[in-house]
Amino acid sequence: MIDRRNFTLGAAALGLGALAAPIEAKVRRKPAKMLDVLVLGAGGSGLQAAWLLEQQGLKVKVLEGRKRVGGRIATLTDQPGYPEMGFNSMADGYGRGFDAAERAGVEMVEVGARYRFGKPPMLWLNGKPLTREEWAKFPGNPFPDALKMTLPGELVAVLVSKNNPLGDWTAWNDPANAKLDISLREFMKAQGLSDEAIRLGNDVSPYYGTTAADVSALMLEYNDGFVKAQFAAGPRSMAVKGGNIRLAEGMARLLKGDVLLGKEVIAITSSASSATVHCRDGSQFTARKVVCSLPFSTLRKVKILPGLKGVQAEAVARLPYQPLSMVFLTATSPFWDEDGLAPGMWTDGIAGNVMVQRFGSTPDEITGFIAQARGGLANQWDAMGKEAVFAAVTGAIGAMRPAAKGKLRAAEFFSWKNEGFNLGDWAYFGPGHISKYVNHMAKPAGRIHFCGEHTATGARGLEGAFESAERVALEVLGA
């Protein structure tokens, strides 16, 4: 607890002097009807938490830094096929997701068949194309015999799926599993993979981290369990007709309280009876409780008084976030018909993973391509900047496939690391982080409660964000 004098001193010490006087005035006046909950962040978890709390009769306000809702639900609504820069699709086991979609009044459509339609993407190594069968016999294939048919982009998922030592994936954060919290590199080495196999199968395009050395194998094992549970629930991948952003917009419309945009949170101060949230524009809001859905990557820039402690403070300061950048491309003519090769390309070069977008009226219509860079390549793209990336990606594809030369237009560049309100795509756990952080980092800290995909323990992605919203709502109601 902090008294008024200490708060003023603390705020001044933090460079919040300008904010201190108005806060004192507010504390003295005591607003007649205090808000019950301030929800920070209008992504999936924040919107879901706000709705759940309102359903229980609480008075809620949402503060969002961006000028839009949705967070990592991010559709390019001005591009053909409404390409998704963030959340793509829900699997059949997304009960909370489908429920939210129904409430929000959006129509869900099956998109999984569109991902798989047409010729499967080819592997391009050193600028030369290989089919799966050619790759299996390729002299430079460094994978063990049993995995020769596995493409580099599939390797980690296949390896973890076949050798997952985690009996019950839902118990991934049980301290009994701490022995599995080793690096993915160590795990891959134990399966007999060479350095070259690890480089090509993970480090060129890592799902988590920048190399196999900086991600926990246990995280991949948990993810594998979640994915298998989704397949067991059904085969579909569902997305929102007209763009996933409509889901977030529909969820925001359901709220009775305000969703205030452009409210970048810079500080949270708590007293014995309330918490006050300070925004960069000078505005401040007080409520009994705060639900914070901010990714730790941005929360670490927010001043919290009294401060977080111990392992929780360390996790907020250190939890790593994935570098991932994307370029959306359109084609002026179907160069893939001209050269007869598959339109999709997984490359080991500067073009990254070039994924086909088939979101026209029928799946045979190609509405564009998303070239995706992860880990080290994403960092490289970010350092190059948009125009240089556009030139490098279209140039590299044109050099590999002369039929594509001059026919690709780079329309958008999107870097999750450079998005100031995310500073990375998703949270991942480094070796040892799970045993150290997971069971402590989302605990309530005084009047602040935490949600968001990074705090989910029973689901991943958007479903995890929704799961965390349920947990936090129960926590607030029970507090």
Report helix, strand or coil for 270: strand
> Which window, 75-83, 140-148, 414-422, 429-437, contacts ligand FAD (CB under 6 A)?
414-422
Q: Which residues pair with 359 in a beta bridge?
A: none
CB of 238 to ligand FAD, least distance (A): 10
Contacts of 441 (CB under 8 A, 6+ apart): 296, 311, 312, 315, 316, 319, 450, 455
- What is the rounded CA–CA span in Å between residue 164 and residue 435? 18
Check residue 83 for interaction with ligand FAD (CB under 6 A). Answer: no
Of 197 and 370, the one with the shorter C-beta distance to ligand FAD is 370
Of 7 and 226, the one with the shorter C-beta distance to ligand FAD is 226
**Cis peptide leading into 142, omega within 30 of 0?**
no
Check residue 223 for interaction with ligand FAD (CB under 6 A). Answer: no
Residue from 73, 193, 218, 251 touching ligand FAD (CB under 6 A): that is: 73
Number of residues that bind ligand FAD (CB under 6 A): 38
Give me the DSSP letters along 41-97: --BHHHHHHHHHHHHTT--EEEE-SSSSSBTT--B-TTSTT--BSS---EETT-HHH
Distance of CA 55 to the CA centre of its chain: 27
CB of 441 to ligand FAD, least distance (A): 14
Check residue 461 for interaction with ligand FAD (CB under 6 A). Answer: yes
424, 416 contact by CB (below 8 A): yes
Of 240 and 396, the one with the shorter C-beta distance to ligand FAD is 240
Check residue 415 for interaction with ligand FAD (CB under 6 A). Answer: no
> Which window, 27-35, 70-78, 116-124, 388-396, contacts ligand FAD (CB under 6 A)?
70-78
Quick note: the x/- pattern for ligand FAD over 248-277, rule CB under 6 A, is: ---------------xxx------------
- What is the rounded CA–CA span in Å between residue 269 and residue 275? 6
Residue from 79, 89, 271, 394 touching ligand FAD (CB under 6 A): that is: 89
Tokens found for residue 279: 């925004």
Check residue 463 for interaction with ligand FAD (CB under 6 A). Answer: yes
Check residue 421 for interaction with ligand FAD (CB under 6 A). Answer: yes
Q: Say how many C-beta atoms besides its own lie within 10 A of residue 20's C-beta.
A: 19
422, 323 contact by CB (below 8 A): no
- What is the rounded CA–CA span in Å between residue 144 and residue 132? 15
Of 41 and 431, the one with the shorter C-beta distance to ligand FAD is 41
Largest CA distance in the chain: 77
Report helix, strand or coil for 159: helix
Residue from 11, 19, 40, 240 touching ligand FAD (CB under 6 A): that is: 40
CB of 101 to ligand FAD, least distance (A): 12
Check residue 422 for interaction with ligand FAD (CB under 6 A). Answer: yes
**Dihedral, CA atoms, 398, 403, 408, 414, nearest 10 degrees?**
-50
Check residue 64 for interaction with ligand FAD (CB under 6 A). Answer: yes
Tokens found for residue 351: 């073009």
The count of C-alpha atoms lying within 13 angstroms of the C-alpha of 462, restricted to the half-sphere facing its C-beta, is: 31
Q: Say how many C-beta atoms besides its own lie within 10 A of residue 145's C-beta.
A: 9
Interface residues for ligand FAD in 106-145 (CB under 6 A)? none
Residue from 356, 408, 465, 473 touching ligand FAD (CB under 6 A): that is: 465
CB of 424 to ligand FAD, least distance (A): 9
Check residue 88 for interaction with ligand FAD (CB under 6 A). Answer: yes
CB of 23 to ligand FAD, least distance (A): 18
CB of 466 to ligand FAD, least distance (A): 9
Interface residues for ligand FAD in 284-323 (CB under 6 A)? 293-295, 298, 302
Of 121 and 147, the one with the shorter C-beta distance to ligand FAD is 121
Tokens found for residue 280: 């960069």
The count of C-alpha atoms lying within 13 angstroms of the C-alpha of 417, restricted to the half-sphere facing its C-beta, is: 21
- The residues that touch ligand FAD, with contacts defined as CB under 6 A, are 40-46, 63-66, 71-73, 86-89, 263-265, 293-295, 298, 302, 324, 416, 421-422, 425-426, 452-453, 461-463, 465
